[in-house]
Amino acid sequence: MKNRLWLHSWSRLLLWFHVVGVIGFYVFLWLRTSPDDKAERHTKPTKSAPDSDGEPFVSIIVPARNEERNIRRCVTSLLEQDYGNYEVIVVDDDSTDGTEHVLDEIAQIHPQQNRLYILRLRELPEGWTGKPHALHAGVQEARGDWLLFTDADTCHEPYALRSTVTQATANQLDLLSLVTRQELPGFWNKVLMPMAYLGISMQYPINKVNDPSSSIAIANGQFILLRRSVYERLGGYARPDLRETLIDDRDLAHVVKQSGYRMRFVDGRALVHVRMYQGLKETWRGWRKNVYLGTRGGITFMLLQLIGLPLVSIAPFLLPALIWLLRLFPAYRGRRGSVTIIEACQAAAMELSLLLAYRRWIDRELGVPWYYAFTHPLAGAVFEGILAQSTWRILSGRGVDWRGRQYYHQIAPARKPL
């Protein structure tokens, strides 16, 4: 009898412990990731076109491997900037699809073809990963005082370059990176991107990234504007700690900030938009590449995520059903002190009120319809699988496969967080 009463009292204690934990998690998440209204968070569009004689020369470098689907839109938008003093260097990194033919066509027919230079790479040297090598090769051909690293799946408004160069020079920045607007076609993009946004912003809150006294640093590889002199002084992607990275943007930002240079990560959704992945398979493979390597806390924090993600994303939606199933067992049903269905519903309502409020804020930031908030447990389940597989592939030595290449990165469990 005493054992049964102990069981029932502990079931109630665990229920309300879970309620406090979930509410505390989302309150902490809001306080950690909500924007600081006092800070300059946006890059304001600068649409005027002053005399280009005083403008710094900018080299835009676009690494591209098997980007037939995206490369035309990206390069065209870059060649049509209203900035007067720049070049576009596209690094075709041994593509096996139609990327080469699309680039050749643009180089032949576009009115601004004189700004475009196509660099073709045919093999990846040992000791490098693909994107750092492509960016480094592009820098070797660049003539600019500033370097702009951007991805092939981006599209830039005509005033994007002028706006960012104006902000970077006016604020004496060494690195300026943008939060870009995500294009989210299809069901799975709208389901999964808010969960990815939650995870990134939890580990790398913009307020901390922009705080010089904080060690937290990240940049968005879809748009990184960097002084050429700083890149060369730091050794760029040829540094031993950067040439093999698969998280090239985060690790570059960490080196820049750790070295005492001025950087800022701001909202540039009015300037650049991007379509990262299409469909569940492509999205799964894309995030699988990043989630383990991109975590700040190594294996310890990854294990906490694997345990905690279902508890804060799936369990709040299932509490009443779980209690109902538990009460089917004779040893539990009808016992004094057991959790009732009404109590479980009250607990779930308290948890969901905070969860859905935070999720609604993320959905508004990403332009996702409000009703996708109810796919939160589905997103949690999918990302649980992505986290587990990403962790297993790295720790087992299978490594990361991406765009036809295999990278084997053994990460020590005690890796120092960035």
**Would the pLDDT of 319 be above 60?**
yes
Number of residues written out for the chain: 418
Average pLDDT for the chain? 88
Instruction: Summarize pLDDT for 321-339 with one digit per residue, the tens.
Output: 776 666 555 555 555 556 7
pLDDT reported for residue 343:
79
Residues whose CB falls within 8 Å of the CB of residue 341, separated by 6 or more in sequence, listed in order: 320, 323, 324, 327
**What percentage of the chain reaches a pLDDT higher than 70?**
87
The residue behind tokens 């309300």 is 16
Average pLDDT over residues 176-192: 95
- Residue 416 pLDDT class (50, 70, 90 cuts): very low
How is domain 52-180+220-289 classified at the CATH fold level?
Spore Coat Polysaccharide Biosynthesis Protein SpsA; Chain A (3.90.550)
Select the more confidently predicted residue: 49 or 174: 174
Q: Is residue 218 pLDDT above 60, yes or no?
A: yes
Please give the pLDDT value at position 413. Answer: 41
pLDDT at 223: 98
User: Taking Cα atoms as reference points, which of 327, 313, 231, 288 lies closest to residue 11?
Assistant: 327
pTM for the complete prediction? 0.90
DSSP per-residue string spanning 353-405: HHHHHHHHHHHHHHT--GGGGGGHHHHHHHHHHHHHHHHHHHHHT--EEETTE
d(CA 416, CA 298): 7
- Burial zone of 388 (CB within 10 Å; 0-12 exposed, 13-18 middle, 19+ buried): middle
- pLDDT classification of 387: cutoffs 50, 70, 90: very high
Q: What is the pLDDT of residue 412?
A: 41
Record the tokens describing residue 287, joined without a space: 């995030």
Domain boundary assignment for the chain: 2-33+297-398, 52-180+220-289
Going by C-alpha positions, the residue among 410, 203, 197 that lies closest to residue 302 is 203
pLDDT in tens, 123-160: 899 989 999 999 999 999 999 999 999 999 999 999 99
